Amino acid sequence: MKAIQTLAAACCLLLSGFANAAPSYNGTIKGTVDGKPIDVKAVCERSKLGTSDRLKAMSDPGMEADAKDRNGDGIAVSVSADMTQLGGAFNVLAGGRVYKFGTTKAIKLTPTGLALKANFKPSRDKPELTAYDVDLTVDCP
């Protein structure tokens, strides 16, 4: 009986591992960052709490704030936006460089997500970097 319980527990762990390994991609993030093309599938989550309407989209689920390429395509994108306040934080890995930027002015709502077109200057602590253009569309139907 103990062997059967151990086998059942091992099977459950194995199956839960497969469930975590296969995220449910339900959106896309497309455009360019600093001239580098971005065209990735994304896992999108929407949550509403009171008057807040939050959108979170990730190309590499589990990356959170580290901009780590977990699927080997060289690109990682994480977007967290408040659709009611039109503010968002973006974290992009493209061409071997990590871009972190946020805005409350340049975001435009779309029927299924948001679009951002803006020019960003590097932070003061990284003066060696140059300004870059961002043109991204997050589509989470």
Q: How many domains does the chain divide into?
A: 1
β-partners of residue 120 are: 132
pTM comes to 0.79
Residue 87, domain member (yes or no)? yes
95 falls within a domain: yes
Measuring CA to CA, which residue among 59, 53, 54, 56 is closest to residue 44? 56
Rounded CA-CA distance 7/130 in Å is 56
Confidence (pLDDT) at 107? 93
Whether 96 maps to a domain, the answer reads: yes
Specify if 99 maps to a domain: yes
Q: What is the pLDDT of residues 19-38, one digit of tens each?
A: 455 679 999 999 999 999 99
CB count within 10 Å of CB 109 equals 14
Q: Look at residue 3 and tell me if it is in a domain.
A: no
- pLDDT tens per residue, range 58-116: 999 876 666 788 889 999 999 999 998 889 999 999 999 999 998 888 999 999 999 99
- Token output for 49: 């709490």
Measured distance CA(84)–CA(45) in Å, rounded: 15
Q: Which domain holds residue 66?
A: 24-139
Q: Write out pLDDT tens, residues 36-45.
A: 999 999 999 9
Residue 1 lies in a domain: no
